[in-house]
Amino acid sequence: MKALILSGGKGTRLRPLTYSGAKQLVPVANKPVLWYGIEEMVAAGITDIGIIISPETGAEVQGKTGNGEYFGANITYIVQEQPLGLAHAVQIARPFLENSPFVMYLGDNLIQLGELRYFLQQFSQQQPDALILLRSVANPSAFGVAEVDDTGRVLQLIEKPKVPPSNLALVGVYFFSHLIFDAIANIQPSARGELEITDAIQYLINQEKQVLAYNLKGWWLDTGKKDDLLEANRLILDTYLIASVLGEIDAQSQIIGRVQIGAKSQVINCTIRGPVVIGSNCHLENCFIGPYSSIANNATLIDTDLEHSVILEGAKIAGIHQRIIDSVIGQRAQLTLAPRRPKALRFLIGDDCQIELT
């Protein structure tokens, strides 16, 4: 069994963050989203992993993730020169996948940790030609959508339909036998100019191959938008954060609830109310850090109130006298000096920005 993780694309929904980096490397609870998928594969017993990368961000993904040794895996990188669809990504990965059954995982998706192992067991035991995961959503037009009959049999799959036949969206995790390659060879690009994985699975259905569908019971998030990224951060912190303090905390500071603080970080005259994760080599002074906040390595926060936000590596926030909420601040961004205002502030700030509020 092998795994194929997709980490290409342009990340347009997370701009400006993704103008300068891969969306799959944006951190959730101080860990790149992509890494959760890799760790889930290894935990399920899959260690031979291919990662689809783009020419624009592939070097960054490789540099950050490495050859897989850190995860106990063997990682092979496969360049997709143009974003020509999920099925195209599978097609170009055939030399890596060979005829092995495999799981395909969208690298900017998160499913509840531990669920992958259960569905892998179902796939291994029943050996269908494909196994898909479904989840009811409020906006099915934004996803691939499944139509199923009363017995749960999949009748039809449609990619981002204007008039959805159901509210059952395809979760970004798929299990395939080698027959998916024949299916891809028999489909044509969609109106979007892409080889759609939904069309390939539909071909299998039309050929009366065995396609199983399971409803995902745990949570699932596509982290391609700011609010989804913040929700993923909240869920991970709420569910999996383990409290530990390796940095220095002065006597005037107060730590409440589950808080993780990395080595060489300094906390001076601050109140931190968990769940909160703070990376290594950070400096926090005269701050209130509220629940569901993640602060990455080498960040500096001075005279700042923060809650339900993600601060990326090397960012600096100083002198902001309004509470910052529901925000994502990019790597090395600087946000400084604001007068007092009556309302909270919300931001999505890309890497290397410098913003002064007046």
Q: How many CB atoms lie within 10 A of CB 227?
A: 12
Distance CA 245, CA 57 (A): 34
**Mean pLDDT over the full length of the chain:** 90
Question: What pLDDT score was predicted for residue 11?
Answer: 47
pLDDT digits (tens, 9 = 90+) for 23-79: 889 899 999 999 999 999 999 999 999 999 999 889 999 999 999 999 999 999 999
pLDDT digits (tens, 9 = 90+) for 143-173: 889 988 877 678 899 888 889 989 999 998 9
pLDDT digits (tens, 9 = 90+) for 255-293: 999 999 999 999 999 999 999 999 999 999 999 999 999
Question: What pLDDT score was predicted for residue 321?
Answer: 80
Structural domains of the chain in order of their starting residue, each with its CATH number: 2-225 (3.90.550.10), 241-356 (2.160.10.10)
52 contacts 6 by C-beta, under 8 angstroms: yes
Distance CA 170, CA 133 (A): 6
Question: What pLDDT score was predicted for residue 218?
Answer: 84
Q: Global pTM?
A: 0.87
Q: Which of 105-109, 130-134, 189-193, 334-338 has the lowest mean pLDDT?
A: 334-338
Question: What pLDDT score was predicted for residue 21?
Answer: 64
Question: What pLDDT score was predicted for residue 153?
Answer: 77
pLDDT digits (tens, 9 = 90+) for 79-117: 999 999 999 999 999 999 999 999 999 998 898 888 899
194 contacts 88 by C-beta, under 8 angstroms: yes
User: Helix %, strand %, coil % for the chain, to 5?
Assistant: 25, 35, 40
Distance CA 46, CA 38 (A): 9
Tokens for 256, please give them. 């409440």
